[in-house]
Amino acid sequence: MKLRNIVFSTVIISVLLSISSKTILSKCEANNNQPINSSKLLKKTNDFVYASAITHKFLGSRIITRFSPTNSQGENLDLNKLASNLGYDHFNWVSYVEKDPYGINNQAGQKLSTPYNDPPRGGYQYDAADQLPFYWDMVNCDRCQQRHHFQNPNNLRQFELVFEDAPADYRLQPGEAVEFITHLVGVRNYDIQEHKAEWEILHTFRWKLTNLRPNYSQASLITENVDLTQLYPLLLTTMRSDGAIFPRATTE
């Protein structure tokens, strides 16, 4: 009788351990597949001391955003020196398309799924880009346009960094929009050969393109200062794979 009880008990324990192990394994696999926990992100865009130096102007479908920081005396700050003082190689922009009703193809002819980097690595079929995630090219690549290069004086000046875009999509119907989310970033480092970069988000804004009527498009601001904790998980995961460094929330 005791032997039977021992055998029975051993079988029961083995079954319970097996179930427990599978449960733990299942939980671990689920955690590994989870995107970034946005609740642990700081509201970084509210912390950037020079956020007020970012201004937006809209002309039809064109958006022109300028980052022109000044000191407490109102004097313009040299961007290279400011970036270095903050621990960055330079400032740049990183932009994503969050919503796109009709889609667009990348350089290889593949239709992009949202959210996607704008421009995607390699660019679009009609407009080439380098293999880094930044809005302005860091490389003079084949078929890349000089006006899209980071060092172009229209994009970067001693005291000002410009973001400019003029998207268009004639297919948009009333009530439809292509929505973008754009970050001013501090670039910590980048590797042209490996196509990798690390960048910290300093300020984020959201904007959109609509067609008010046929042959008339309008770009407009949705949110001037986006809270990173409100970004949806797939976008956060995409940003992280592109080299974004997310600040972590501190415990009270």
C-beta atoms surrounding 182 within 10 Å:
22
Average pLDDT on 112-125 reads 94
At 30 the pLDDT is 36
pLDDT above 70: residue 218? yes
Q: Which helix (H) or strand (E) holds 49?
A: none
Closest of 66, 69, 64 to residue 48, by C-alpha: 69
Q: Is 40 helix (H, G, I), strand (E, B) or coil?
A: helix
Average pLDDT on 217-237 reads 94
pLDDT, tens only, 29-76: 333 334 455 555 545 445 799 999 999 999 999 999 999 999 999 999
At 252 the pLDDT is 41
